[in-house]
Amino acid sequence: MNYNFNWGVVADAMPTLLGGLGLTLQIAVITITISMVLAVPLTMARMARIEVIRWAAQAYIEVFRCTPLLVQLFWIFYALPALTGITLPGYVSAVIALSANLTAFMAEAYRSGFQAVPVEQVEAGRMLQLSHLQQLRHIILPQALRQQLPVILSLNISLFKDTALVSTIAVADLMFVANTVSAQSYRSLEVFTVAALMYFAIAFPVSLITSHIEARMQRAAGHGPAAKKLFLTRLVPGMKPVAA
């Protein structure tokens, strides 16, 4: 191997790369916040008794789950202005596309959690004369979020990684900045390696937290391996969890 590494290029570009990472995190946080809120009414619509509302919600979910996120991003950035006559900045288009996509996946996670809430507790809420909104706020939503927390965190990790796609519409996120620095310095190996490590440094700890929460939930349910053993399986290749 005759390649001569030059990490000085990365050191010089580190402030720019960190700025791109900051924008990536900003987009991710905004998108996750919007999606977690919008997924609640979408879930309620998906479970509605009125067929028109239920089928409309399901159609929305299936469209965004079954088409590539990159296509959705391009459609909102390039095609939507042709229909509306309104040109959206790349940043706004990115947030809209990512939020619309994540909301569809989040709604399905919520629906699974809603359906897992014991019917007896919902009936108890009715006996206490709680309104539908109060039942949702005090009984259904807290339990659904708690039960589906590992799934929600996994979706958020995937969303964080998918933010790299916004570089295709000239949003100056980490991937866009890394590509620019690479083109200017001709040091693709060093630049993209550091960019990958930045993504990894954010996503991997959250992934471990997700596994730990899932292990604790399994342990609390009285089945599955101990939390510590399941946690170690994420770190040691080939290690299989052993039931307690």
pLDDT digits (tens, 9 = 90+) for 187-202: 999 999 999 999 999 9
Name the residue among 174, 178, 111 with its Cα closest to residue 145: 111
pLDDT digits (tens, 9 = 90+) for 218-241: 777 665 555 455 555 555 555 555
Mean pLDDT of the chain: 86
Q: Is the pLDDT of residue 67 over 60?
A: yes
pLDDT digits (tens, 9 = 90+) for 102-120: 999 999 998 888 777 777 7
- Is pTM, for the whole model, over 0.85? no
Q: Is the pLDDT of residue 51 over 70?
A: yes
* pLDDT the model gives residue 119: 75
